[in-house]
Structure 1
Amino acid sequence: MAIARVHTDKPYSQYWFYKTMRVAWDLAQEVKIRPLEDNLYTLQFSCLGDWERVMEEGPWNFKGKAVVLAPYDGFTKPSLAELKKIEIWVQIHDLPDGFFSKIKALPAMVGEFIFAEPKSQDFEGNFARVRVRIDVTKPLKNSVSLVVKKKDGIHREIFRVKYERLPDWCSVCGNLGHLLKECGDGVRPASALVFKDLRASW
């Protein structure tokens, strides 16, 4: 079993949530989705393969909003389940190969490190891929940094961060769950768009 909610304060159709997620997950067997209250559901899978696909191959989104999932034992009060973290692939751009040994420390600024994709000969792209667990209630990070000792002193190297399959986010405050035009009065100068271009191709 799993427990789920959509990271949004807006009302939405439960019918379309069920229909959309069943299509997106493309499961081998039927999943039973039971609403507990507004925007809180239990999911009961019929096989381990389906459960692993849903829990490990996200992030999933419904109409652009993150679907937050957590394992559920069926005995804990559903209201006590912590539903604020999603797993996502992060790209750290322009990272020199010599710094790859530091790859575990770099994503700690973004979220909780899960694992890094090893470098291989057939990989194309000037970035390292890391799987992290991020808190959807906190602003996204648009860069990570590393303190490097060089001949002329100590320098801080900054590396751009992009997210694969990123749900809707605000380029002003960096939070998931709403867009730029829904943040404040929606009228912002270009200089305020600190968190733009965070979505990576994948």
Structure 2
Amino acid sequence: MIALYKFPKAGVDRERLREESFARQHIAHKGAEDFSHQDFWPLMRRYLRKEKTYLDVQAGTGGWVIFLHDEGYRAEGVDPSRRVAHAISEYEPDIPVRVAEPTHLPYTDGSLDGIVAIGALESLKETSAALREWRRVLREDGTLFLQVPSANLLRRLTYLPLKHLEYLTKTALGQTPVFSAYLFTPAELSRLVRKAGFAVVDIIPHELPDTDA
């Protein structure tokens, strides 16, 4: 895994900015096509079952949990921000959304059929702890849908050297780095999920903007 860092301005509360940003980016501004056109959606749909219950971890703006609900799936969500969870519930009261950390889910062992973690794992420092927790709450035949940014060749040749230069320059100037996200190779991700007790069924690459874009 490759760790990426940001250098926020002094006095900036990053968590508060996240809450305000997600509260503004309301799901009402998006349609089903924004999600159904994702190139990994056909793979997800192949494994999803309408009669089963799926949890959206780090629900954020509520995009995926509301999309799955509107598509007829039994979907629930969790997010560490009370304000963000409230915004989702306010828009769609029929969807259960709880305030919880992704490493400490308020579910009993083996109580969920699936977990959807789109853009979630990379933002967690304790990736292994999160994966073990997700394995705990899933049924024996449960399914985990992961989407993470890849440390592909293009990023290694262009983006990462620039980020490394930024890190060296700003730390030399006395600025404090703050963890932002991880990049994974397919092999690294496979090792992590297998170690947590999962079997890897499918891996597909797809294009995403840079994690801090």
Normalising by structure 1, report the TM-score.
Answer: 0.26
Between structure 1 and structure 2, the one with the greater Rg is: 1
Compare the two structures and name the one with the higher helix fraction: 2
Normalising by structure 2, report the TM-score.
Answer: 0.25
Higher relative contact order (CA 8 A, sep 6+): 2
